[in-house]
Amino acid sequence: MSDFNVNIFKARRAEVAKRMEDNSILVLSSSKLVSRNNDTTFPFRQDSNFYYLTGFQEPDSILTVQSDGRSVLFCRKKNSELEKWDGFMWGPDAAKDHFGFDEAHDISEINEILPNLIRGQKTLNALVGKSLEFDQKVTSWINKANSMERHQGNIDLKNFSNVLGSMRLIKDRNEIDLIRKSCEIAAISHRSVMQKAKVGMTEYDLETMYLNEFKMNGSREASYTPIIAGGKRACILHYIDNNQNIKDGELVLVDAGCEYGMYASDITRTYPINGKFTGEQRAIYDVVLEAHNAACHAAKVGNPCTDPQKTSEKSLSQGLKDIGLLKGSLDEILEKNLYREFYYHKIGHWMGLDVHDDCPYSIDGKEILFEDDMVMTIEPGIYVNDTADVDARWKGIGVRIENDILVKSDGYENLTAKVPVQAEEIEQLMSE
Ligand code: GLY
Ligand code: MN
Ligand code: MN
């Protein structure tokens, strides 16, 4: 708590108010505590949008921001009995002062107080469609407020997702510092485990080592469940079983990132468990690396945010053709989407509070253009499944390379550059 800076969150609420139309109110919910099974819960993770505007880390809370700049928090009442079990609770009075709200109330009073806050407003903004339970509550608050103001127009309900998402798209100084640190921790952790990885280790041995490095380097949590996929399991994009042996001669694909100050990092490296790429592994690896580098250069201020995607499709198609995995002309491969047999995900995603940051890629049919201080992952891959119509020596090879890129007007910055990415560098590191 010591480095909590209330001004960051107050400034964001002021900016949100500025972006709202006159006579409107934003209503935003925190995360809930999620039951794991009887009497146990998953670790609490605050909703990223709620955190972005409050810095407040408790469940069962609601924030309102009005277009005139006033903000109100509803949170749990302080309860010393409950604190003996679950730890410190702010309670409305202390939360109001510490987090800089204009008012704060006990959440149990929300059904009486909130309709009064929203009555007479023209528009209620909310992140619609994320939770049926919250949507139903919003509808009931609007109905109650409308019934109090029979002689005025009804309140419009508007989805605020693009407004908040657009704000979150451009990272402020504080966010860039946290993302930089998250990326640094993830990168030195990848480097360290890559150096220690050996034949005989299982996927979960490596998983333990990555999670341990994250924690030892200052990150308590992974930003998503790591993917540690030996051999052909690398072709399963969301493989998280991480419970198999990795055989001598196989590659292991590791997609693992951490969270620091609520901000994500997201790195993938693919390396030979015995420290030396085979000819086929290396050929595919170099095609992916070339596509990765080309796509990074396409993440340029002023370019549409889909340019890295198109660049990666072209580069991978040419590479797949060069090594004989695809036949025909480059135009034909691209027109018929033949590369999708081997490259069946997108090039990357926005990253910030969420690993897949809750930000738009287009608004009203217009693609978002890259601007300074956006953060995107670049993560091309080639996956040769057993079902592919190719020579057996290629089958079961899956390679992805993923780095996190800060877009700047004078070029991109690779925030995860501390992990080796050239095949020779990886082999060198693994032999040390
Ligand atoms: N780790 C999830 C992703 O790369 O998108
Ligand atoms: Mn990613
Ligand atoms: Mn990833």
pLDDT tens figures, 1-16: 458 999 999 999 999 9
Residue with the smallest CA separation from ligand 1 atom 4 is 266
% of the chain beyond a pLDDT of 90: 97
Question: CA 268, CA 399: separation in Å to the nearest integer?
Answer: 9
pTM of the complete model: 0.96
**pLDDT number for residue 1:** 41
Structure tokens belonging to residue 330: 């480059």
Can you tell me which atom of ligand 1 is nearest the CA of 379?
4
pLDDT (tens digit per residue) in 232-273: 999 999 999 999 999 999 999 999 999 999 999 999 999 999
Distance 255 CA to ligand 1 centre (A): 7
Q: Residue 426: which of 307, 273, 243, 293 has the closest Cα?
A: 273
- Whether 224 lines ligand 1, by a CB cut-off of 6 Å, is yes
Q: Tell me if residue 349 is catalytic.
A: yes
State yes or no: is 149 an active-site residue.
no
| 38 Cα–ligand 1 center, Å | 31
Residues 186-220 pLDDT 10s: 999 999 999 999 999 999 999 999 999 999 999 99
Supply the pLDDT for residue 99.
98
Tell me the fold of 6-168: Creatine Amidinohydrolase; Chain A, domain 1 (3.40.350)
| Ligand 1 close to Cβ of residue 266 (< 6 A) | yes
Residue 348 CA, closest ligand 1 atom number: 5
Nearest residue (by CA) to ligand 1, atom 3, is: 266
379 in ligand 1 pocket by Cβ < 6 Å?
yes
Instruction: Specify whether the CB–CB gap between 304 and 294 falls below 8 A.
Output: no
Residues 6+ apart with CB under 8 A from 330: 314, 317, 318, 321
Q: Which residues are bridge partners to 40 per DSSP? A: 37
Q: Is 36 helix (H, G, I), strand (E, B) or coil?
A: strand
Query: What is the Cα–Cα distance from 201 to 107, expressed in whole angstroms?
Result: 50
190 is known as an active-site residue: no
Does the annotation count 255 as an active-site position? Answer: yes
Q: Is 402 known to be catalytic?
A: yes
**CATH architecture observed for domain 170-431:** Alpha-Beta Complex (3.90)
Predicted local confidence at residue 3, as pLDDT: 81
- Whole-number Å distance, alpha carbon 405 to ligand 3 midpoint, is 13
Distance 14 CA to ligand 1 centre (A): 32
pLDDT, average across residues 144-164: 89
For the chain, the structural domain boundaries read 6-168, 170-431
